[in-house]
Amino acid sequence: MCGFVGFSNLKENISNDIHILKNMNNCLQKRGPDEEGFYVHEHIGFGHRRLIIIDAENGKQPMKASYFNNNYTIVYNGQLYNAKELRQELIEKGFDFTGYCDTEVLLKSFICYGTEVLHKLNGIFSFAIWNEEKQELCLVRDHFGIKPLYYTIVDNTLIFASEVKALFKHPKIKISLDSSSICELFGLGPAHTPGNGIFKNIKELKPAHFLLFNKYGIHLEQYWKLESTPHTDDFNTTCETVQYLLEDSIKRQLVSDVPLCSMLSGGLDSSIITAYASNYYSSKGLQPLETYSVDYIDNDKNFVKSDFQPNSDNYYIDIMKNEFNTNHHQIVIDTPELAEYLEASMIARDYPGMADIDSSMLLFCKNIRKGATVALSGECSDEIFAGYPWFFREDALNSNTFPWSIALSERQRLLNPEISKQVNLKDYIDYQYKESLSHVVILDSDSTDTAEKRKISYLTMNWFMQTLLDRSDRMSMYNGLELRVPFCDYRLVQYLWNIPWEIKALNGREKGLLRYIVKELLPQEIVERKKSPYPKTHNPTYLKVVKYKLNKIIENPNAPIYDLLNKNYIKEILETEGTAFSRPWFGQLMTGPQLMAYICQVNMWLEKYQPQIEL
């Protein structure tokens, strides 16, 4: 995994602007701590930071290749899981290779097929390729946006980077917010609208899209989307196909020249990955799989069951590590660290995020990085196999809004009454909700349940899953750790999209089909374990810390967030210690303490980036 930056101006010579590239590239050092490289020509500049995973010597970037007297240059962040097949295909077409890294495979595949190659790629990626003869730049992002890519255009210059912070090192970019930024922060946050970079005029290249920049301007195109088609496979064929696609995805993602591990919570998803990976290691005569889990000091003493977090992890982790003989490491985080790293996790994400859920992941990845460079995660299973409570809860299904974020009136009350008159969060959210649903294709053959759940699944994959993928990428790459997500293989997602709800929710259970498929793979207690999300702290000292931080903010008229907030309502939240948000205000985990921490992160964010607010 890596990070890259660049800019292109087809009307001016930018070859003397390497100092700008270096300033931008320095922001991505944590994404790529091993190497850096630059390429500057008359109308294009690339910078790259590299985290070495495969073929250290032959994978240096920017990478160049010539074909029929035309020169191509690539900067790339990601991993191709079908590089071996593509490489063989290209060899048969007459291409040769100097090494075995996937960067060379990707570049020569693009030379061979152009943008049509995007229909062949299986992996996680964002990349930029410069075609010297055409004087054309192509930017690409993977099917689900697992790897980030942001851009803007100012004075005929297209500026792009793996992270927003790097864009702001370009002198032409002005940092500002507008009313839609406020709606994103307070109405949708920590989620965001696909394609919206929150800062004014900063855009995110949408998942499954490519951008061409040439003398004709900018052309954006979607190269892949979910297709609604009748599911004709019988039950046994359906199970066999899902099992094959899942196992194939996991095995493809075990390729690495550096130490690799699995995140293991004892939940169904991480246990499936651990089981397949451990069995694969054993079949190859390799050392036992390294696994990692996260917990918090005194969490067992303070844990309280809820509909959203019904049990804790340790009992189930012990079952898995003993069953599959993994070399297990438990990372235990102290509560003060969670509050201390709220700012670092905000900087890693470039936005206010999931509060201590982010800082916990950042600390988890920091500790994993001491022993591994690549980690496999069970992320995305709940989105595609219907694992979240809102697939089943009537209040969420009937909310007529994003089902993981139904506290709309409470969110509006967070705003200063004067700003609230100008910024209507509900109208903004309603528009994004309805616009997103307009892309869902319902089939005449769909049952009522299948049609309804298509809508919820689409929203969950395109909004909630993206929030978690952003979190996973930023928190891991901030520590130079590559995080892979086998459940997010586009072949698996496409197949599951058309499986009827009655099969997907087999026996009326969340992830019922998945449980049935792996019943012979895993211990029964793991198969039957009720869905439990990524663990959060239940230590009351965390609430005390964030309450203190938020009190300091609303008592300080110089705090950058001060004029944005409804102080009376914030005081009410503080006095009740967040019990007004005992039900999650976002997802399954973010209740009162996380709301307070989120507001603190917004203030930290405004302090760090100092945007001009233009309402």
The token pair that represents 601 in the structure block: 């992160």
Degrees, nearest 5: CA angle 538-392-507: 110
What span, in angstroms and rounded, lies between the C-alpha atoms of 543 and 356?
Answer: 11
What span, in angstroms and rounded, lies between the C-alpha atoms of 481 and 277?
Answer: 18
Is 183 a known active-site residue? no
| Sheet-wide strand order for 63-67 | 63-67, 70-80, 123-131, 136-141, 209-214, 217-222
Side-chain-side CA neighbours of 45 within 13 Å: the count stands at 24
Please report, as a single letter, which amino acid is at residue 590: M
Contact 80, 105 (CB under 8 A): yes
The token pair that represents 462 in the structure block: 């395109």
- Strand runs labelled E in 470-567: 482-484
310 phi and psi angles, rounded to 5 deg: -80, -20
What span, in angstroms and rounded, lies between the C-alpha atoms of 513 and 577?
Answer: 40
In the numeric block, the tokens 């997010």 are attached to: 488
What span, in angstroms and rounded, lies between the C-alpha atoms of 139 and 132?
Answer: 15
The DSSP result for 182-205, as a single string, is HIIIIIITTS--TTB-SSTT-EEP
How is residue 565 annotated by DSSP?
Answer: B
DSSP-assigned beta bridge partners for residue 126: 77, 141
What span, in angstroms and rounded, lies between the C-alpha atoms of 271 and 197?
Answer: 35
Active-site pick, 2, 101, 138, 380: 2
The token pair that represents 330 in the structure block: 């438990």
The token pair that represents 498 in the structure block: 């058309």
In the numeric block, the tokens 């009655």 are attached to: 502
How is residue 441 annotated by DSSP?
Answer: P
By three-state DSSP, how is residue 65 classified? strand
The token pair that represents 161 in the structure block: 């980077």
Q: What sign does the CA torsion over 160, 162, 166, 167 have?
A: positive
Helices (H) and strands (E) in the chain, counts: 26, 19
Cis amide linkage into residue 417, ω under 30° from 0: no
The token pair that represents 585 in the structure block: 């205000």
Q: Which of 107, 106, 121, 137 is nearest to 208 (CA)?
A: 121
Alpha helices in 369-464 (DSSP H): 381-385, 394-397, 408-413, 417-422, 425-437, 448-459
- Strand runs labelled E in 304-362: 327-333
CA-atom Rg of the chain in angstroms: 24
**Catalytic residue set:** 2
